Amino acid sequence: MPEKKLTPEEEAVIVHKGTEAPYSGKYDQHFEKGTYVCKRCGAELYRSDDKFDARCGWPSFDAEIPGAVKRQPDPDGRRIEIQCVNCGAHLGHVFEGEKMTEKNTRHCVNSISMEFVEDEK
């Protein structure tokens, strides 16, 4: 699938590694059944079964689809960035050790970096 043309707001986050304002994204409190895919390339990233309400202002997942997300330290070394393995789009950051779920992992993802595909009924 070819990369999608991004709006300036999408480009600021996805390409230039920005962050959308907390509680502003459409998927923060979204709990429908389906799959979250990369906004830029359409690759599957997260399943709704792994989404939880971390009350942090961004969509949170405690697992990614295996092989879909790449982790790398931020330049300052303080956080771990997560990117789409397929196209390198900036998704957000991953945190471990917070004890919010049994998996003890929180992928804190910008809504603007994803699209949602509802499960077929």
Catalytic residue list: 108
Cβ-count burial 41-60 (b if 16+ within 10 Å, e if not): bbbbbbbbebbeebeeebbb
Q: What CA–CA distance (Å, rounded) separates 38 from 21? A: 19
The radius of gyration computed from the CA coordinates of the chain, to the nearest angstrom, equals 13
